[in-house]
Structure 1
Amino acid sequence: MSPRPALPSPSLTRRNVLALIGLGAAGVTAPSLTGCASDKAAAPTVTGAPTGEARRGGTARLAFAGAGAAESLDPTVGTSPCELARHAVVFDTLFFFGDGEARPGLATAAEVDSAAKSCTLTLRQGVRWHDGTPFTAEDVVHTLRYRASPDRVSPSELSAYFDLAAAEASDDHTVVVPTVQAVGDPATMFAGAGLYVIKKGTSSFSAGTTVGTGPYRVTAFKAGRETRLERYDGYWDGKGYAEEVVLLSVDDAQARVNAVRDGQADYASDISFTTAKSGPPGSGLQIRDAGEQLRTTYGFVLNVTRDLPADPRVRQAIKLGIDREALVKAVFLGYGAPANDLFGAGAKYFLTDVPVPGRDVAEAKRLLAEAGATGKPFVVRTAEYETGLNSSAELFVEQLKGLGLDASLVKVSTTEGYDPAGMKACDAISFPLGPVSLALTYTRSAAFETLAFPDKELTKAVATALSTTSDSERAYAWTKAQRVMADRGNWVAWGRGDVLSLAKENLTGIENRDSPKYPWLGKVGFTA
């Protein structure tokens, strides 16, 4: 086999897989879609939020999937949508994603020197913490060193690229961070790291002491239930509209819908396709989609450490033989489209000219027979991290049987889904991924033996994409990497589904940054 990417990689933990797919470590519950496909037309959706100017005042109540009693105000831990939505309005990151690429936050620039030995962060001036003290470079240094500590629950993956512990402030608004390896686009690496900046000296977090630089500050917190946030009028990017934001932690998708229907919430994140197809459950409500660029890609990763997926003929046969249209119809119920075996749709540099593979069952059967795979066992593993993921796996298994494989399904809970030992024993693993940057998509997946695709050309292309400072060279390298994965890789990405929410018609200011499952709420409010 070809060598794996020569990159420092994160530790092999379930938390890191969930961080990649954008879900919380506590697991997510969702209803099964078995038998839900029908010919009934999908109810129409509204893309985005109203564009009218919001009025000042009022309380916006929004429901997200949470992590129960395990929830924390600590922005260095917790990856459930409710926690991430809270972190994003209480704290700021150095950079964040907008329209698929890195945008300036507390940092206005990140530049590497000509020898690629260090990165200089230029920080935004005029920013203040919620307690009125000025934000300085020492706060960033403290954050980087805090996240570099090996005793953290979740040490920052930036340590694979930067020597965070050696960061130094050269003045009040400049931080120099030594690099561990060449990094050509540091802003993207920082944007994807979920690095919320904490104040110098901070080591614990509670409702009475937590301060950030974000547009809202914490006034009350009950883990697994609700967080109350008060507008911070001194926010550097202009004060928000709602006087108060209440985040409700509600794991069950239908319960979130019920909260909006019954007037207990104004917004329910991440509702099911089945719910959307039934239409808004009351007057003054609307089903919203986040737009095609922010769809979630559904698929399977083939485990090439096992004999059948390691054979390129088997991989090609599966790509050619599955019925993507049937999967899309059964799972998305009209709220999605077939995919072209690539993850990372919506991110900068994503290839949009790779066609969806045409179905050729005869050729797929021929390839399996040639590989000696006909009649051989093929185990598919799935957990319901996304609505319909289990149903898609059930249909996938039936389609594989139709091609001649002795396919079977291992369906596990979300607490077991990405258990490394369990993944190792399976040939294919169900896998959802939103519009994550290509840097994260390719480097994090390569860190897991059961998800990685060892290939010399891929390894070289990814290394170049990460290290070059030339945008044109980076675009070319990402093109090569994606061509490899589309041609012979171990991804079977069959469809892209809308990310849906339920909201009151006059709720506005929902801004999709990192993920539409936990939008940025700094400007949330109500139109007149």
Structure 2
Amino acid sequence: MKIKTLLVNMTCALGLALAGSASAQEEGGNFVYLVQPEPPSLASFLSTSGPIGLVAPKIYEGLLDYDNDLNIVPALAESYEVSEDGKTVTFKIREGVTWHDGEPFTSEDVAFSIMEILKKVHPRGPASFAEVTSVDTPDDTTAIFNLENPAPYMLRALSGYESPMVPKHLLEGTDPRNSDLATNPVGTGPYVFEEWKKGQYILLTKNENYWKEGLPYLDRVVARFVPDASTRTAAMENGEVMYGAYGAIPNIDAVRLREMDGFSVSTDGYAMINPMALVEFNSTREPFDKPEVRKAISLAIDRNFLIDNIWFGYGKAATSALSSNFSATGLYKAEPEAYPESPDVDAAIALLDEAGVTPGDDGVRIKATLDLIPYGEDWRRAGEYMKQALMPLGIEIELRYEDVPTWLKRVYQDYDFDMTMNYFYQLPDPVLGVHRHYATSQIRQGTHFVNSSQYSNPELDELLAAATTEADADKRAEIYGQVQDILAEDMPVMNLFEMEFLNVFNDKLHGHDASALGAYGSFDQVWIEK
């Protein structure tokens, strides 16, 4: 017997309803929004870099989407069935969908995307689809996922942002890491890639053959790159751009714009991602190979100072390796000794002494470089704070701020760093967003946003594996409690605060918040009031 979950085509119904409410003069037009910084590529099947996520999901789609209440809604799969034992998931693939080059989208593309791309080269795909052993395609509109063990979290990882479906006919037999799709993407989404003028913009045009009747509304979507923060804000104020998310408009300007007529600020569209600001340590490099050093740095940081003075009150101090948002599912456990409410410099110095990291004649214990994620001025200011905060410990920090490709290569390809300030998405389930930080299997040189610390702990690996397949909620919570205990002691990654990103937008803009993915959504329902 099978447990069947049928997805009514809510997406098309919603699109038709909106089409009825948007008058003719509100359809069409050009929408310009900020992407900061410029994406290193558009290969979202290779990298989950934030700027890529702001553009690629307008081109590529997933099997499913999610509404703002986190309910599953159909996308390229119009329905799915989960077997009673949870080991078979059958997707009914939508008919009549074509790739932007005119080729039909079929179940063969689904099987190829999962087994050959997402499971092999995507940063999070190996965890999301770890239990998938094969995908059967008995016909063009049926894709049957065969699982070693039940994996209910997988159904939360099928958006166009998280798990894009890619064209088998363009990638089969090639090395996806060197694919032309990185700069000339071909998807099934509402917008077609038209032009990338480096250093200026990416232009997308309306997909005239899109499978959602009446959508998209817009004729053109332009992702604009503006390196200078003040210039980005000015562009918003004077109407050159209409939308900025993920720090494109610094919080210091966002709190000013929200008081002005014609602009709004919201925190909608981030429910799926659970973003966490953090510092990754290179656990293979002295003295950061010592847990005491990593813990000492955590004890010296005033997390609320970062939130209040750099992010202007948007955020919540981290208290564990897991976000407190996982409290709703019973998985979160506070670790107050590792994450104190206020800095404890004396305790930090004691830990350094215990580790044998003593001051030299100049009072300096450690000289190190902190690489900053190159995503704007807020991160530069946070780096300056870190530099100041660690001086009382005798830790002398040099800040390094490079462009996105250089930073990604340094951290995830060359492992040429001491510490790096970054942020990760913990996503709706720890299997999807947290395991990649810590599992030995996630030391995947050249893959972005995985275990760059090169941390390896066999005991933790066993716990993560057990948590992945444990169906009993209480037992799963107990396992994650042990995981958080170990990570509080070893601290390969130091969480700083649970982030609250802001959307800053012109009030004439509508439909940008139609999906739980927000700015990482497709923008197929965006329209501009005339």
TM-score, L = length of structure 2: 0.71
Deviation at 1:99, TM superposition (A): 6.2
Q: 2:31 aligns with which of 61, 72, 75?
A: 61
CA contact (8 A) 2:508 2:528 kept: yes
Please give the alpha-carbon distance, in whole angstroms, between the structure 1 residues aligned to 2:168 and 2:416.
45
Paired amino acid for 2:294: R
Q: Give the structure 2 partner of residue 398 of structure 1.
A: 388
SS, match of residue 407 in structure 2: coil
Q: Does 1:489 align with 2:491?
A: yes
Deviations 1:110-164 (A, max 9, x none): 7589696xx54412445533789875323323444663798xxx56764675699
Q: Mind listing any 5+ residue stretches in structure 1 that lack a counterpart?
A: 1-51
Q: 1:417 aligns with which of 407, 418, 429?
A: 407
Q: Does 1:430 align with 2:414?
A: no
Q: 2:97 aligns with which of 128, 137, 143?
A: 128
Q: 2:341 aligns with which of 352, 358, 363?
A: 358
Taking a change above 3 Å as real, the CA distance of residues 341 and 515 of structure 1, as seen in their structure-2 partners, is farther
Please give the alpha-carbon distance, in whole angstroms, between the structure 2 residues aligned to 1:167 and 1:364.
51
Q: Give the structure 2 partner of residue 324 of structure 1.
A: 303
Deviation at 1:176, TM superposition (A): 3.5
Deviation at 1:458, TM superposition (A): 2.4
Paired amino acid for 2:202: E
Paired amino acid for 1:430: M
Q: 2:240 aligns with which of 264, 286, 293?
A: 264
CA contact (8 A) 1:285 1:503 kept: yes
CA contact (8 A) 1:157 1:193 kept: no
Please give the alpha-carbon distance, in whole angstroms, between the structure 1 residues aligned to 2:353 and 2:241.
56
Q: Does 1:228 align with 2:204?
A: yes
Please give the alpha-carbon distance, in whole angstroms, between the structure 2 residues aligned to 1:494 and 1:158.
26
Please give the alpha-carbon distance, in whole angstroms, between the structure 2 residues aligned to 1:112 and 1:489.
39
CA contact (8 A) 2:61 2:188 kept: yes
Please give the alpha-carbon distance, in whole angstroms, between the structure 2 residues aligned to 1:292 and 1:515.
6
Q: 2:431 aligns with which of 439, 443, 449?
A: 439
Greater mean alpha carbon deviation, residues 355-364 or residues 183-192: 183-192
Q: 2:56 aligns with which of 62, 87, 92?
A: 87
What aligned pairs does 1:279-428 form with structure 2 within 5 A after superposition?
A: 279=257, 283-290=261-268, 296-342=275-321, 344=323, 346=325, 349=329, 351=331, 354=334, 357-359=340-342, 360-375=344-359, 376-387=365-376, 388-402=378-392, 404-414=393-403, 415-418=405-408, 419-420=410-411, 424=415, 426-428=417-419
Please give the alpha-carbon distance, in whole angstroms, between the structure 2 residues aligned to 1:113 and 1:507.
44
Paired amino acid for 1:168: D
Q: 2:480 aligns with which of 475, 478, 481?
A: 478
Q: 2:222 aligns with which of 247, 252, 267?
A: 247
Taking a change above 3 Å as real, the CA distance of residues 401 and 426 of structure 1, as seen in their structure-2 partners, is farther
Taking a change above 3 Å as real, the CA distance of residues 350 and 379 of structure 1, as seen in their structure-2 partners, is farther
CA contact (8 A) 1:390 1:411 kept: no
Deviation at 1:455, TM superposition (A): 3.1
CA contact (8 A) 1:380 1:393 kept: no
Q: Does 1:170 align with 2:138?
A: yes
Taking a change above 3 Å as real, the CA distance of residues 58 and 172 of structure 1, as seen in their structure-2 partners, is closer
Deviation at 1:427, TM superposition (A): 4.2
CA contact (8 A) 2:202 2:224 kept: yes
Please give the alpha-carbon distance, in whole angstroms, between the structure 2 residues aligned to 1:493 and 1:235.
42
Q: Does 1:197 align with 2:128?
A: no
Deviations 1:305-326 (A, max 9, x none): 2454444443333333322232
Deviations 1:158-207 (A, max 9, x none): 4675699964302343224556888564334555983322456345989x
Q: Indicate the RMSD between aligned Cα atoms, in angstroms.
A: 4.3
Q: Give the structure 2 partner of residue 275 of structure 1.
A: 253
CA contact (8 A) 1:373 1:405 kept: no
Taking a change above 3 Å as real, the CA distance of residues 443 and 503 of structure 1, as seen in their structure-2 partners, is same
Paired amino acid for 2:357: A
TM-score, L = length of structure 1: 0.72
Aligned pair count reads 466
SS, match of residue 346 in structure 2: helix
Taking a change above 3 Å as real, the CA distance of residues 451 and 95 of structure 1, as seen in their structure-2 partners, is farther
Q: Mind listing any 5+ residue stretches in structure 2 that lack a counterpart?
A: 1-19, 172-178, 360-364, 444-450
Deviation at 1:93, TM superposition (A): 0.6
CA contact (8 A) 1:350 1:438 kept: no
SS, match of residue 277 in structure 2: strand
Deviations 1:502-528 (A, max 9, x none): 211132222376755534412212468
Q: 1:103 aligns with which of 68, 72, 79?
A: 72
Deviation at 1:298, TM superposition (A): 1.9
CA contact (8 A) 1:54 1:508 kept: no
Please give the alpha-carbon distance, in whole angstroms, between the structure 2 residues aligned to 1:312 and 1:69.
34
Please give the alpha-carbon distance, in whole angstroms, between the structure 2 residues aligned to 1:233 and 1:102.
27
Q: Give the structure 2 partner of residue 502 of structure 1.
A: 504
Q: Give the structure 1 partner of residue 456 of structure 2.
A: 454
Please give the alpha-carbon distance, in whole angstroms, between the structure 2 residues aligned to 1:291 and 1:517.
7
CA contact (8 A) 2:204 2:221 kept: yes
Taking a change above 3 Å as real, the CA distance of residues 211 and 291 of structure 1, as seen in their structure-2 partners, is closer
Please give the alpha-carbon distance, in whole angstroms, between the structure 1 residues aligned to 2:387 and 2:39.
36
